[in-house]
């Protein structure tokens, strides 16, 4: 399975678990799929599509910021979820 499919699956699981719902009290899971290497231009990780800054802030980010990072990385990856999945 390629990295985009793994990331898409991880996003769907997080969405199905309610982690992208702004009313959820559950921790927003990391998008990391254990393919940790930077793109040739060093703009983002080739596994999770986060930037170095996003990876660095993740551990101390609140749920709102984590959902925002998810939205940006999914956009970079060209992955769309159903409307309302990232509230």
SS3 71: helix
Rounded CA gap, 25 and 23, in Å?
7
Confidence (pLDDT) at 68: 95
Residue with tokens 């399975």: 1
Confidence (pLDDT) at 83: 47
Confidence of residue 82 (pLDDT cuts 50, 70, 90): low
Rounded CA gap, 30 and 65, in Å?
12
Count the helices and strands in the chain (H runs, E runs).
3, 0
Nearest CA-CA partner of 59 in 71, 47, 50, 46: 50
pLDDT digits (tens, 9 = 90+) for 21-38: 988 888 899 999 999 999
């Amino acid at each position: 399975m390629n990295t985009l499919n793994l990331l898409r699956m991880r996003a769907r699981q997080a969405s199905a678990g309610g982690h992208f719902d702004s009313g959820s009290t559950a921790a927003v899971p990391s998008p990391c799929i254990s393919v940790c290497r930077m793109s040739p231009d060093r703009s983002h990780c080739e596994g999770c599509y986060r930037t170095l800054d996003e990876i660095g802030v993740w551990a101390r980010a609140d749920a709102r910021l984590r959902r925002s990072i998810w939205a940006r990385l999914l956009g970079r990856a060209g992955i769309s979820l159903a409307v309302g999945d990232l509230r």
